[in-house]
Amino acid sequence: MCSRFELSARPRDLARRFDLDDPPDGFATGEVRPTNAALIIGPDGPRVQPWGFAVEWDKKPLINARSETLAEKKTFQPLLENRCLVPASAYFEWRRDGKARFKNRIAPAGGGLFAFAGLTDGTRFTIVTRQPAAAIAHIHNRMPVILAADAEARWIGADNGFPAVQTLLAGDPELVLDAAEDTPPPPAQAELFG
Q: What is the CATH number for 87? A: 3.90.1680.10
Q: How many domains does the chain fold into?
A: 1
Catalytic residue among 2, 6, 84, 152: 2
- Establish if 58 belongs to a structural domain: yes
Give the C-alpha separation, 110 to 176, whole Å.
9
The model carries a pTM of: 0.91
Check: CB of residue 37 under 8 Å from CB of residue 26. Answer: yes
Domain boundaries, position 119: 4-181
Asked if the structure places residue 71 within a domain, the reply is yes
**Is 93 tagged catalytic?**
yes
Query: Could you tell me which of 5, 181, 189, 1 has the C-alpha nearest to residue 101?
Result: 181
Which residues does 76 contact at the CB level (< 8 Å), separation at least 6?
65, 69, 70, 119
User: How do the pLDDT tens digits run along the chain, 194 residues long?
Assistant: 579 999 999 999 999 999 999 889 999 999 999 999 999 999 999 999 999 998 888 889 999 999 999 999 999 999 999 999 999 999 999 998 899 889 999 999 989 999 999 999 999 999 999 999 888 899 999 999 999 999 999 999 989 999 999 999 998 888 899 999 987 655 555 555 55
Task: Round to whole Å and give the CA distance between 62 and 45.
Answer: 23
User: Catalytic pick from 6, 84, 93, 152?
Assistant: 93
- Whether 2 sits among the annotated catalytic residues: the reply is yes
